[in-house]
Amino acid sequence: MRAAFRRRATAHVLLRVAVATLSVVFVGGRALAADGGNDGKATNPAPSRGITTNMKVANFDDALSTALARRGAASRVACDGRDPVARRILNEYGAVFFASNGAVPPPVCIFAGAEEVESFQRAANASAREVGGVLIELQPSAMRALLAARVEAQAEGLDITPRDGAESARRGYADTVRLWNSRLLPALEYWRAQGRLTDEEAERVRRLPVREQVGAVLELERAGVYFSKDFSKSILYSVAAPGASQHLSLLAFDAAEYGDGRVRQILARHGWFRTVRSDCPHFTYLGLPESRLPAHGLKRVETADGEFWVPNSGELQPELAQKR
């Protein structure tokens, strides 16, 4: 029992150290990205087999620390899992850190600004292709997998196309700020009119620096003051925090045909999965077969909108529990 306790304690220490130092070196990112022993070479993930819902799901934090140790990811402090905002980002968007099969995971939980985003995107060597009449950009391995999925879909009389133009794939830091404000500013006005926020409180939140603003919004949501488009759930299920979007890493794609289960199955066969609860059109390129997701600390969650693969790291948020 004492030995088991020591092993658990060691695992938690490793998590804190690894998450606190999560970083991908831009120049050598592709070598670090390989999570399947393929030296970063992109190959199509093998088709899933078996019933994943009955498989044992690893703890997300433990799986992440193991993946980081295997990649040797350690340089500067980039994502401290003890910070409440970073912890929440990991819980909501953390699946992307397991992107493999030639994909380069993001080097941080939250990019600090446009310069950091642009540096990563240049190193990722974005691939641009026209899909459904729209020019989109993704990491090369993610693009190959998406195009292969589209060929398969079209062979079945279906299609896979961007939902919101070029912004369905690559985004810049300024895009994430704009989308954040599209939820933040109306919500501040709404809750001020409802009497839940004073004029002074609303103005204080509006003027905060971005990182502090995210923390303030998440704290207000703990009291039921939600900032999603319909004011009924967390803003993080409506838009990503500035600098935290998976689109910045060129590993996310919003599909117009997300509501068709056949399309979702095709995308899954090519390593694309929905990994953000309540963001139905959003797919993340993980480059893994579905059967391997539970071993990476990702659990399958079924909702009225279909299936999502999310980090197995904590309790379901109260507002989501009410909607299931």
On whether both 100 and 187 belong to a single domain, the answer is no
On whether both 110 and 226 belong to a single domain, the answer is no
* More reliable by pLDDT, 321 or 41: 41
The pLDDT of residue 61: 86
Residue 24 lies in a domain: yes
On whether both 228 and 253 belong to a single domain, the answer is no
On whether both 202 and 249 belong to a single domain, the answer is no
Query: Is residue 156 classed exposed, middle or buried when 0-12, 13-18 and 19+ CB atoms within 10 A define those classes?
Result: exposed
**Residues 215-255: tens digit of each pLDDT:** 999 999 999 999 999 999 999 988 999 999 999 999 999 99
On whether both 122 and 265 belong to a single domain, the answer is yes
**Residues 86-132: tens digit of each pLDDT:** 888 888 889 999 999 999 998 888 898 999 999 999 999 999 999 99
* Alpha-carbon distance values, 69 to 22, 73, 278, 307 (Å): 10, 7, 31, 30
Residue ranges of the alpha helices (H) in the chain? Answer: 2-20, 29-33, 60-71, 84-93, 114-124, 140-155, 173-193, 199-207, 210-222, 261-269, 318-323
Domain that holds residue 37: 2-129+167-171+245-323
Please report, rounded to a whole number, the percentage of residues in the chain having pLDDT higher than 70: 76
Helices 140-155 and 261-269: crossing angle, nearest 10°? 130
Contact 82, 16 (CB under 8 A): yes
DSSP state at residue 20: H
Overall number of domains in the chain = 2
Contact 175, 118 (CB under 8 A): no
**Residues 171-180: tens digit of each pLDDT:** 999 999 999 9
- Residue range 6-21: mean pLDDT, rounded: 43
The pLDDT of residue 252: 97
Most trustworthy range by pLDDT among 4-8, 139-143, 317-321: 139-143
On whether both 209 and 316 belong to a single domain, the answer is no
Q: Which of 303, 317, 304, 271 is nearest to 96 (CA)?
A: 271
The pLDDT of residue 16: 44
- Residue range 254-280: mean pLDDT, rounded: 95
**Residues 138-154: tens digit of each pLDDT:** 999 999 999 999 999 99
The pLDDT of residue 169: 96
User: Which of 207, 237, 267 marks a domain boundary?
Assistant: 237
Chain-wide mean pLDDT for the chain?
81
How many whole angstroms separate alpha carbon 22 and alpha carbon 66? 12
Angle of CA points 31, 32, 33, to nearest 5°:
90
Torsion of CA 290, 292, 294, 295, to 10 degrees: -170
On whether both 227 and 283 belong to a single domain, the answer is no
**Residues 167-218: tens digit of each pLDDT:** 999 999 999 999 999 999 999 999 999 999 999 999 999 999 998 999 999 9
pLDDT surpasses 80 at 59: yes
Q: Which of 40, 99, 88, 38 is nearest to 64 (CA)?
A: 99
Q: Using 50, 70 and 90 to split pLDDT, how confident is the model at 31?
A: very low
pLDDT surpasses 80 at 30: no
Residue 41 lies in a domain: yes
pLDDT surpasses 70 at 322: no
Contact 275, 96 (CB under 8 A): yes
pLDDT surpasses 50 at 13: no
Three-state DSSP at 1 gives coil
How many whole angstroms separate alpha carbon 309 and alpha carbon 28? 28
On whether both 35 and 118 belong to a single domain, the answer is yes
Q: Tell whether the torsion through CA atoms of 78, 84, 90 and 93 is positive or negative.
A: negative
The pLDDT of residue 82: 63
The pLDDT of residue 68: 75
* More reliable by pLDDT, 319 or 86: 86
Residue 28 lies in a domain: yes
The pLDDT of residue 65: 82
The pLDDT of residue 35: 46
